Structure 1
Amino acid sequence: MEAEASEVPFDPTNVDLTTADPVQIICFLSEEGNEYDGRLGARVAALFVILIVSTLCTIFPVAARRAPGLKIPSYIYLFARYFGAGVIVATAFIHLLAPAYEAIGPASCVGMTGGWAEYTWPPAIALFSIMVIFLVDVIAERYAEAKFGASHGHGDGIEGGVRTESEVAGEATSSKVTSMAGFSQEPKLEVGSGNVNGKLSDVSGEYGEDSGYNRRDFYSQFSAFLILEFGVIFHSIIIGLALGVAGEEFNTLFPVLVFHQGFEGLGIGARMSAIPFKPGSWLPWILCLAYGLSTPIAIAIGLGLRGSYNPGSFTANVVSGILDSLSAGILIYTGLVELLARDFLFDPKRTRDGKKLAFMLTCTILGAGLMALLGKWA
């Protein structure tokens, strides 16, 4: 046992609950050890299944937006996009912050030991992460404005004064690209009938000319996206390691993680599809593959360390608890600010079609609900 609260050796076979140190009991119970029970072939198969599913789910929203030849109906793209947004929010709270409490929270072995017992660290670390991301976002916005000489276009006009025709035209062009709540041409969406007037390729438009405003918008959104992807990848690595050394729970954990990674992939892809990459750029496809590879690589590492890696050890709990807390803060900020607030509250191009808006909200809530439900098993 790595954390002992007293000099008296702890004998788990002879415990007097009236005198025993609760820290010793909690630490003994939480150190589950390595439960690897063979089935190497099934674990290798899981590696490839998760690789394929997570990569394809990540690619789909990007391909739907960047490949007009696919002629994907707009309601399918809308579903993937806003379902993924709900998944990101649920992942932050259910799949990151809750496990962080289990690893380093007040009721955990780590949280009852030494300096970890002096404060409730998971929300503090998440708050630190949120504030850092907020500052990075502000600095990136200011840098882009100074470099490209353009405003964001979401202001209330208090300091705006009179804009030139070129500024208005640039804003109109970019809004077609960056609006996540609608397209440059409003397709009529009949919820429930599956009938959409027009394909996605007819309404999504091109990515706009390479104006200073578009370059500024790209750098701003891309920096925020990289932070989001790193946060999700940290989480994917942790669960991949756990799957590689799981025991009897492998039978349940494997199918749940397939859906888990697929849903997260939709969220990552949905966020990436809104970024105005240059036509023909390979960068979005590389980023899709990076997410798809994260969990399989972690599973492979877990299999390589199956004889020594202990996911319940004191050190493993500290590392996973800190990373989960940091990632939770990243996804909370991104999900609530960059996705929900910016799309539904502050986007001047938000759709005025009531049925379409209801469909988008339903997809968001459905994504959050299903991802929260998966938290019962993984």
Structure 2
Amino acid sequence: MSNFNIKHIAIFFILISIFTPRVLSVVEYCGEEEDNSCVNKSKALSLKIIAIVSILITSMIGVCLPLFSRSIPALSPERSLFVIVKAFAAGIILATGFMHVLPDSFDMLSSSCLKENPWHKFPFTGFVAMLSAIVTMAIDSIATSLYSKKHKAGIVNPEIGQGQDSNDQEMGAVNAGHSHVHSHHHHGSFSTKDGVDGTKLLRYRVIAMVLELGIIVHSIVIGLSLGASSNTCTIKGLVAALCFHQMFEGMGLGGCILQTEYKFLKKAIMAFFFSVTTPFGIALGIALSSTYEENSPRALITVGLLNASSAGLLIYMALVDLLAADFMGDKLQGSVKLQIKSYMAVLLGAGGMSLMAKWA
């Protein structure tokens, strides 16, 4: 699954780089004039460079913190505190979809710059977000089913023990019998070295993969908008808000990556792609700033539809794969006190990110 994830992320970056200049090229200027007192290209460039560095650092901190939590007993996945922190991060992701990405899409696709028919005659944002959630559910379900069947057939070994030979882990298809014996020799059943059920482990990996792809889409779009802007007043607010956003969204993703029990290299690759997407988007926006106009019809349609699809994915993942999975799980169902603490964490995370909507 890791190879699948890495290949698709790489393909996504390449496609964005190739097609974005064409899709987002200026067709005509539309919209209100910017406040000239805030438009300063040289100062804006300095702020964008600061944004790239600061967002990269905060993204790395956010996504890496959970990955090193095993060294801190209180933050290990088996402890209650980890569940509470994960609930807080899930609230961040949920609010990102509802309060940031979805409203932006509504604004863009209902802009007066777009033709009355069809953009003002049909709620494309809600429609695309709904389709995105359905497609995400299908991918989530089918991927889990396929990988479960492959494991049962001996093609995939979901166990990633730090002391195991990578050939035993990755090349089960070459020697399925050996993989089966190796697994039962060390564990005696379909479970990991930490006692995590194998079916749950497969689910964790599908969740981490789909969530990361969804976050990458909206992070590229956010970075592109910031990088193409020359409005220093807008950029200043965005930098602080995005640092907060990326750190806590990274914590949510980092928690999901931690539960996949991949080896260190695979975890590092997933963390790297998350960390560089927004800075990459900013750099791409800087490169396209001479041709990209955020109020041109093509830009509004393209970014609006991407935001809508990303919102549907993030909302589904936050509600179904993160919050519902944990709150309906054995750990939280066994403790009303822990449920209340986790609910408060969700409200705190969602509330904090909702407040950020004032600036970003």
TM-score by length of 1: 0.70
Q: Identity percentage over the alignment?
A: 30
Are 2:47 and 2:236, in contact at CA under 8 Å, matched by a contact in 1? no
Count of residue pairs the alignment pairs up: 294
The answer on whether the counterparts of 2:148 and 2:202 sit within 8 Å (CA) in structure 1 is no
Q: Which residue of 1 aligns with 2:309?
A: 326
Judged with a 3 Å threshold, the aligned counterparts in structure 2 of structure 1 residues 36 and 330 are, in CA distance, closer, same or farther, namely farther
Conserved in 2, the CA contact under 8 Å of 1:85 and 1:367?
A: yes
- How far 1:368 sits from its partner (Å)? 0.7
Question: What whole-Å deviation, never above 9, does each CA across 1:135-185 have from its counterpart, x for those lacking one?
Answer: 2222223323433349xxxxxxxxxxxxxxx9xx958x57xxxxxxxxxxx
User: Does the C-alpha gap of structure 1 residues 101 and 282 become closer, same or farther in structure 2, counting only changes over 3 Å?
Assistant: same
1:38 aligned residue (37, 42, 66): 42
Residue in 1 that maps onto 2:134: 131
The DSSP-based 3-state class of the residue aligned with 2:31 is: helix
Identify which range, 323-332 or 301-310, moves more after superposition: 301-310
Contact 1:58–1:268 (Cα < 8 Å) also in 2? yes
The change in CA–CA distance for 1:350 and 1:76 in structure 2 (over 3 A counts) is closer
In 2, Cα distance between equivalents of 1:33 and 1:296: 26
Structure 2 counterparts to residues 5-44 of structure 1, below 5 A: 28-29=30-31, 35=39, 37-39=41-43, 40-44=45-49
Aligned residue in 2 for 1:361: 343
Name 1:121's counterpart in structure 2.
124
Q: CA deviation at 1:52?
A: 0.5
Aligned pair in 2 of structure 1 residues 147, 241: CA closer, same or farther (>3 Å)?
closer
Structure 1 partner of 2:254: 269
* DSSP 3-state at the match of 2:41: coil
Paired position in structure 1 for 2:239: 254
- The verdict on how the C-alpha distance between 1:253 and 1:352 changes in structure 2, with shifts beyond 3 A counting, is same
C-alpha separation in 2, matches of 1:36 and 1:350: 52
**Whole-angstrom distance in 2 between the partners of 1:33 and 1:329:** 33
Q: Is the 8 A contact 1:47 1:299 kept in 2?
A: yes
Identify the residue that residue 377 of structure 1 maps to in structure 2.
Answer: 359
Q: Which has the higher helix share?
A: 2
Equivalent residue, structure 1, for 2:201: 218
SS of the aligned residue for 2:104 comes to: helix
* Structure 1 position 87 matched with structure 2 position 92: yes
Aligned to 2:323: 340
Residue-by-residue CA offset, 1:189-233 (whole Å, 9 max, x unaligned): xxxxxxxxxxxxxxxxx5348xxx62x443433223222111111
Structure 1 segments of 4+ aligned residues over 6 angstroms from their partners: none
Matches within 5 A, 1:25-104: 28-29=30-31, 35=39, 37-39=41-43, 40-64=45-69, 67-68=70-71, 70-73=72-75, 74=79, 77-104=82-109
Q: Which position in structure 2 is the counterpart of 1:207?
A: 194
Partner secondary structure for residue 334 of structure 2: coil
1:82, 1:360 within 8 Å by CA — same for their partners in 2? yes
Cα offsets for 1:32-67 (capped at 9, x unmatched): 699553223332122111100011111111221xx4
Report if aligned partners of 2:63, 2:271 keep a CA contact under 8 Å in 1.
Answer: yes
Per the alignment, do residues 170 and 343 of structure 1 end up closer, same or farther by CA in structure 2, a change over 3 Å counting? farther
Q: Aligned partners of 2:207, 2:112: CA distance in 1, in Å? A: 33
Structure 1 unmatched runs, 5+: 4-26, 151-165, 175-205
Q: Closer, same or farther in 2 for the Cα pair 1:31/1:285, shift >3 Å?
A: farther
Q: Whole-Å Cα distance in 2 between the matches of residues 118 and 33 of structure 1?
A: 31
Whether the 8 Å contact between 1:32 and 1:312 is mirrored in structure 2 is: no
CA separation in 2, counterparts of 1:30 and 1:292? 33
Partner of 2:222: 239
Unaligned runs of 5+ in 2: 1-25, 154-183
Change over 3 Å in CA distance of 1:71–1:99 after alignment to 2: same
- 2-structure distance, mates of 1:108, 1:126: 21
Normalising by the residue count of structure 2, what TM-score does the alignment of the two structures yield?
Answer: 0.73
Q: How far did 1:285 drift?
A: 1.7
